[in-house]
Amino acid sequence: MKIDDWLLDILACPACKSPLTALTESDELACSSETCGLVYPVRDDIPVLLVDEARKA
């Protein structure tokens, strides 16, 4: 997964607005909020930030 640091700094979880962190081993972005816990897929180096596409961690 190739996401620039500056982009990762401005991305936020669409559900709760918390910052996202990169999970490089699984090509996903995880919400940093303990209460939300959604994990969003990254397809072809493009984050899919749709709540319907996310899975619960």
- Summarised one tens digit per residue, pLDDT across range 18-30 is 999 999 889 999 9
Task: State the pTM of this model.
Answer: 0.90
Query: pLDDT tier at 45 (50, 70, 90 boundaries)?
Result: confident
Distances, alpha carbon 43 to alpha carbons 15, 27, 35, 47, in Å: 20, 8, 25, 6
% the chain with pLDDT above 90: 82
What number of other Cβ atoms are within 10 A of residue 20's Cβ? 24
Which of 40, 43, 45 minimizes the C-alpha distance to 13?
40
The pLDDT of residue 1: 73
The pLDDT of residue 3: 85
